């Protein structure tokens, strides 16, 4: 058990170090999300509409950005043949999966945190509700995209047409999570008058539990006998 945690930590550290040493990718991700934010603001037209769609825009931006970053998560390894190396090493496939998923969730969470003040400013949508619940949405929402995203990125990175395939598989799957996160964030920005944010957060956490447990199992299954 302790070994598993150590291995997970090692994989997380390795992946975050890669992001840190090549900051072009991380900043590219952020700029991509900002571009979506601006596009949606132009499409909305009026400030009233912007306020209504601010929460949804934030999550659409993060989700689309995630399909770009997840794509990279395994292609970096594939380029150098490192994935085979990692699997051949005495690393538990569970540790490999949870390490990578955790690193992806952290990257996504970072993008979300950086995007928040911009969304508030551009869309004129201050968070009227509890900022802690908002932070909870960022954590749970990033995790919801990262778990199935990591699994599918591993699969599609080895298939033809990966850049089309990953969004095609991932977007419909995480739609309930996106719905919960964007609705919850939006009602939070409106001050949560009908006390709905907690319910949406609960739904998001339920999604996380299902997908974090299931994806790990399935990942180790397909890595052991590809």
Partner 1 sequence: MKLAWEHYIGLAGLVLMAAGNAIGLFWAPPEMMMGDVGRILYVHVPAAWICMVIYLVAFAGAVASLATARPGADALVESSVEVGVLLNVLLLVLGSIFAKPTWGVWWDWDPRLTASAIMCLTFVGVMVLRAMVDDVERRASWSAVTTVLAFVNIPVTYMSVRWWRSLHQVQSSSSTMSAEMWNVLWLNTVALLLVSIWFVARRYRIARDRADQLRAPPLEVAP
**Stretch of residues binding partner 1 (CB under 8 A), selected from 72-80, 104-112, 130-138, 151-159:** 151-159
Please state the closest distance from residue 148 (CB atom) to partner 1, in A: 6
Q: Pick the closer one to partner 1 by CB: 103 or 203.
A: 203
* Per-residue tokens: 154: 């591993």
Question: For residue 220, what are the contacts with CB-CB under 8 A and spacing of at least 6?
Answer: 92, 93, 94, 97
8 Å CB contact between 54 and 190:
no
Q: Pick the closer one to partner 1 by CB: 40 or 154.
A: 154
Question: For residue 108, what are the contacts with CB-CB under 8 A and spacing of at least 6?
Answer: 62, 65, 66, 69, 142, 145, 146
CA distances (Å), 106 to each of 53, 84, 217, in order? 25, 24, 21
3-state helix, strand, coil in the chain (%, to 5): 85, 0, 15
Radius of gyration of the chain (CA): 18
**Per rule CB under 8 A, count of chain residues that contact partner 1:** 35
Which x/- pattern over 98-137 shows residues binding partner 1 (rule: CB under 8 A)? Answer: ----------------------------------------
Residues 202-221 close enough to bind partner 1 by CB under 8 A: 203, 206-207, 210-211, 214-215, 218, 221
Could you say whether residue 196 binds partner 1 (CB under 8 A)? yes
Q: Which residues bind partner 1 (CB under 8 A)?
A: 148, 151-152, 155-156, 158-161, 165, 168-169, 171-173, 175-176, 179-180, 183, 194, 196, 199, 203, 206-207, 210-211, 214-215, 218, 221-222, 225-226
């Amino acid at each position: 058990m302790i070994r598993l945690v150590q291995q997970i930590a090692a994989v997380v550290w390795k992946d975050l170090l890669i992001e840190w040493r090549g900051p072009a990718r991380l900043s590219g991700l952020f700029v991509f999300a900002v571009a979506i934010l601006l596009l949606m603001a132009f499409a909305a037209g009026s400030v009233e509409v912007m306020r209504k769609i601010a929460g949804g825009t934030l999550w659409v931006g993060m989700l689309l950005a995630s399909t770009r970053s997840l794509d990279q998560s395994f292609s970096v390894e594939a380029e150098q043949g490192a994935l085979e190396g990692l699997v051949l090493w005495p690393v538990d496939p569970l540790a490999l999966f949870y390490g990578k998923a955790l690193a992806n969730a952290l990257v996504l969470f970072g993008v979300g945190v950086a995007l928040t003040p911009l969304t508030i400013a551009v869309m004129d949508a201050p968070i009227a509700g509890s900022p802690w619940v908002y932070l909870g949405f960022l954590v749970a929402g990033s995790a919801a995209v990262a778990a199935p995203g990591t699994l599918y990125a591993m699969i599609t990175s080895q298939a033809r047409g990966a850049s089309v395939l990953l969004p095609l598989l991932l977007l419909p799957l995480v739609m309930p999570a996106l719905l919960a996160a964007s609705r919850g964030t939006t009602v939070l920005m409106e001050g949560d008058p009908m006390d709905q944010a907690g319910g949406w957060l609960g739904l998001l956490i339920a999604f996380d539990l299902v997908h974090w447990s299931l994806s790990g199992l399935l990942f180790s299954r397909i890595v052991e006998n590809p």
